[in-house]
Amino acid sequence: MGTTLAEFRRRVLIGFPRSDGEAVLAVEEGINAAVKALVSLNDFDEMLTLDSTSASTVTDQQRYHLTTDLLLTRPKDIYSIRCMDEGDSRKLIYVSPRELDTKIPYPEQFGTGRPKWYTVFGLYIELFRIPDAAYDLYIRYSQWPDVMTDDTDECVLTHVDESIIMLAKDVANSYLNGEYLNIASKAMEYVKMGVKEERTRPDQDLYAKPYCAGGSLPLGEWWTNPFAREDP
């Protein structure tokens, strides 16, 4: 369970120079701003999710809004999209908006079919080919945190309380003193330790096989592929 807004407020106000109504309001704003700043710099595990129930395509519709059409909750970054079909499910291939617009300026000319590529443009995704039926979409994405307003609201982040508290103090002081605070730069100082820990997970490290000049062609791989057959 995450720390509640009431508990964060109590801990931020410890040693704080003021505790009047304006200060409490600044502290609460600072807590939410701190959480959002940390999430903007790193996709914490708590913010990753897989939507396998809400998102689906509509026949002859190419563009989909992430929240109103696909019903994603506070989407931040799209990691992958799978088009689920009983006969031929596939992971869609990401292409940049520029590449799609350059190579396929008029997708309608190619007719409709099972989508193979997608691009993200702002709060929309576009599919090509244009869907010819209703397909379920399994979307892996990260979320923005929900704003905490009630005392019992819990923070979604569970292991960075101290970073949130110290950053919230800085933000609240800047509000009350009318001073400018580069919150992104300050947040980066607090998030570095958590990011470093995430980079030390052994099963998620990629290792390159060394290249050698055996035979007429150099042998090796840039990164090991878990689906490739290994030599006995």
Tens of pLDDT, residues 15-72: 999 999 999 999 999 999 999 999 999 888 899 999 988 899 999 999 999 999 999 9
How many whole angstroms separate alpha carbon 47 and alpha carbon 40? 11
Handedness of CA 82, 83, 85, 91 (dihedral sign): negative
Name the pLDDT band for 110 (thresholds 50, 70, 90): confident
Quote the tokens at residue 142: 């990260």
Pairing mode, strands 48-51 and 63-65: unpaired
pLDDT in tens, 160-209: 899 999 999 999 999 999 999 999 888 988 877 555 555 556 565 666 66
In angstroms, what is the C-alpha Rg of the chain? 23
Task: Read off the DSSP letter of residue 12.
Answer: H
Pairing mode, strands 124-128 and 117-121: antiparallel
- The count of C-alpha atoms lying within 13 angstroms of the C-alpha of 16, restricted to the half-sphere facing its C-beta, is 28
Q: What per-residue confidence (pLDDT) applies to 105? A: 87
Q: What per-residue confidence (pLDDT) applies to 35? A: 96
Amino acid, single-letter form, for residue 51: D
| pTM for the predicted model, two decimal places | 0.79
Q: What per-residue confidence (pLDDT) applies to 232? A: 40
Instruction: Cis check for the bond before 129: say yes or no (omega within 30 of 0).
Output: yes
How many whole angstroms separate alpha carbon 56 and alpha carbon 110? 21
